[in-house]
Amino acid sequence: MKRVGFVLFAIANWQLIYGAQSEHSTSPSRQFVVYGPDAKVRGAISGLAEQTKTNLLGLLRQHDDWKTSVVVNLQPQQANVPEIPAADLRFSQTGFGIKLQLDLTISKNVDVSVVERELLHAILLELIYRKQPHIIAGAVLVEPPDWLIDGALALSPGRDRGPLIEAVGNTEKPLPLEKFLRQRPDLVDSAGRTLYRAYAFALMQMLLDGKNGGTQLAKYIDHLSESSNDPLAELKAQFPVLADDAERTWQLALNRLKSLQTFRLLTFAESEQRLDELLRVKISEPKKPVKLMRLDELTQHKLSASEKMALDQLKRDLMFLVPQTNPVLRPIGREYQEAATLLARGKRRGVQKRLSRLELTRQQLAVRMTEIDDYLNWFEATQMNSGSGNFTGYLKAVDQSQVPAPRRHDPLSVYVDALEDQFEN
């Protein structure tokens, strides 16, 4: 999300000067060659492209081994040609393989989510045809399914999936899997588009939760160029989880997503407690008792396969918890999710410092929320004309404590009372 914010910042400050197209930047992996007159915007688009690819490779549990570069051509919006689309991906074949060129129309009102989607579209096309350097002239080129693009974007770190969970929860009769796979999202209205993204999110999560889900998804993408007109059969061929009863598995996945919908947000204390429970990562190894480890402990050494699996589970648990947490803790929950993602990929640099900062922020928030609760309780008890009744017993006890107790008349009490009167006078 930081990348997206930087893109918006750079675009907002870009003076739309259409310079020579020879000015270009090459991304760190060298897969993306970005042409445009402004170096800051080129850098922002390059960074967004690399982050989008990193997120996808993380889902697939694959290393970066690209073969075909993606040319990104930045052009300013022209008042006399308003019909130019914001993003136009050109996918064609040449004598040397496929050619990928993404033309982006840059303006202050550009929708960065559209840019991110088209970048992912191009990355998936390169993956589909990576092993086919020689394509026969006139061959029909296969596009990645829309659910694959939308599902991968929904699973990107830091995304708010609350609206998607709500969309599924508000649907009385969910679409059958086969009908969903054949749906055209470009032909539905805004509400239907949100529901389509929610279904895509549910399907991607279901496939990745299966045994070797990321690896199986990579194989599915690799075979898309040979796909038939039966999308459900293609999925069954690659994912054993769908082999027996695909529709039942699909409905169970949707019901699981529906169960996450909540009409009452967790309080700050409840959110903190649930977050503490999840951050004690459970490491399960064969023939060994379950071991609890903190995230910062996992930054100190190279992770085992069991520890990586535990971190993957933590990411999924956090993904479902964040929409239910108190709003002030949601950014922190997303940062923990990103930290778990980095650790699972073996990227430990800077994670320890990040976790320390998150812990300090949580402590400061806890103190501040306690102060707020104390103030609200005081205000309700002493300043409101009508109260909730929660403090009636407390106020009655205070009033009774202020009534002078009856004096005792035994010799010792009479002596002490006399001394007290002398000192007061």
Provide the 10 A C-beta neighbour count for residue 260. Answer: 17
Whole-number pLDDT of residue 127:
94
Amino acid in position 232: L
Other CB atoms within 10 A of residue 104 CB: 22
For residue 396 the two structure tokens come to 């009655």
CA distance 160 to 154: 8
DSSP 167: H
Which residue has tokens 């033309």?
103
Tokens of 28: 């760190």
Q: Which residue has the tokens 């390059």?
A: 46
pLDDT value, residue 212? 83
Identity of residue 193: R
The answer for 28, left when phi > 0, alpha when psi is -120 to 50, beta otherwise, is alpha
Q: Answer whether 195's CB lies under 8 Å from 257's CB.
A: no
Whole-model pTM above 0.85? no
**Domain spanning 1-140, CATH architecture:** 3-Layer(aba) Sandwich (3.40)
How far is Cα 288 from Cα 349, in angstroms, rounded to an integer?
A: 29
In the three-class reduction of DSSP (H, G, I as helix; E, B as strand; rest coil), residue 203 is classed as helix
- Walk along the chain (425 residues) and give the pLDDT tens digit of each residue: 444 444 444 444 443 444 445 789 999 999 999 999 888 889 999 999 999 999 999 899 888 999 999 999 998 877 665 667 778 898 877 766 778 999 998 887 778 889 999 999 999 999 998 887 677 766 778 899 999 999 999 998 878 788 888 888 888 888 999 999 999 998 989 889 999 999 999 999 999 887 788 889 999 999 998 877 899 999 999 998 888 889 999 998 898 888 776 545 788 888 898 898 888 888 887 777 878 888 888 888 888 888 888 888 888 888 878 877 888 888 898 899 889 888 888 888 888 999 999 999 999 988 888 888 787 777 766 766 655 555 565 556 555 555 555 566 666 566 666 666 665 55
Determine the pLDDT at residue 415: 60
CA atoms within 13 A on the CB side of 272: 15
Buried b (16+ CB within 10 A) or exposed e, 70-100: bbbbbbbeeeeeeeeebbebebebeeebbeb
CATH 3.40.30 placement within the chain: 1-140
Write the CB contacts of 247 (distance below 8 Å, at least 6 apart in sequence). Answer: 176, 177, 178
Query: What CATH number is given for 145-261 in this structure?
Result: 1.10.390
Residue intervals in the chain for CATH 1.10.390: 145-261
**CA pair distance 240, 249, nearest whole angstrom:** 11
Sheet containing 24-26: order of strands: 24-26, 32-35, 70-76, 97-106, 87-94
pLDDT value of position 16: 40
